[in-house]
Amino acid sequence: MFALALTDTAELRPLSPWHAEEFLTHLDRAREHIAPWVGASFVATDLDSARRVLRRYAERWADDAGGIWGIWADGTLVGGVMFVSFDPQSGVAEAGCWLEPGAEGRGLVTRAASRILDWAIRERGIHRVEWRTKVDNVRSIAVARRLGMRHEGTLREVASGPAGRIDIAVWAVLAGEWRAAG
């Protein structure tokens, strides 16, 4: 097992199916806060669905098509980052994140996302990392900006939501931009 320090009291670690109980406990604390921003299939409601979410990402990792990592602060799972998609052949990946309210404002997501983007670009040769978010998710957009991403456009009414069709903002950073920013 590995852990990457994000701060003196927070670290990034792989999030695996055997973390399902801890993941579910975390989601119970975060559910109302993240539900408007993440897909319904991510917000597990019981132990079996928590295992399914983590198993889906474990399978993506095994297929070299994605991955998920948890953010632990003071020993408690408080959020995480993931590659929703990861395609070394095309050189394109999509990153995402989530965080419970009590962990906001400490730069944890930006640090964690920076770690996985750096690995994807420098170690795996990914050329483009995308960040897709609902257009009104100001916290997620702020992370994309801090990561040096550019807003490339908005996919209008691309997905259905509880209140109707939703718009998704697409942000991205290219490998050359990432390396130049250091």
pLDDT of residue 159: 84
Parallel/antiparallel/unpaired status of strands 164-174 and 128-134: antiparallel
Give the pLDDT confidence of 113-165 residue by residue, as tens digits: 999 999 999 999 999 999 999 999 999 999 999 999 999 999 999 888 777 89
In this predicted structure, what is the pLDDT of residue 32? 84
Q: Which residue has the tokens 């408080």?
A: 78
Q: What percent of the chain has pLDDT over 70?
A: 98
Q: How high is the pLDDT of residue 4?
A: 93
Closest C-alpha among 79, 172, 67, 69 to residue 124? 67
List the domains of the chain with CATH numbers: 4-181 (3.40.630.30)
State pTM to two decimals. 0.93
Q: What would the pLDDT profile of 11-23 be if each residue is shown by its tens digit?
A: 999 999 999 999 9
12 contacts 71 by C-beta, under 8 angstroms:
yes
Q: Which pLDDT band, with edges at 50, 70 and 90, does 1 fall under?
A: low
Rounded average pLDDT over 72-89: 97
Both structure tokens of 24: 């579910």
Q: Residue 27 is encoded by which pair of tokens?
A: 């989601």
Mean pLDDT, the chain, whole residue set: 94
For the stretch 27-52, pLDDT in tens is 999 888 887 777 767 778 899 999 99
End-to-end CA distance of the chain: 27
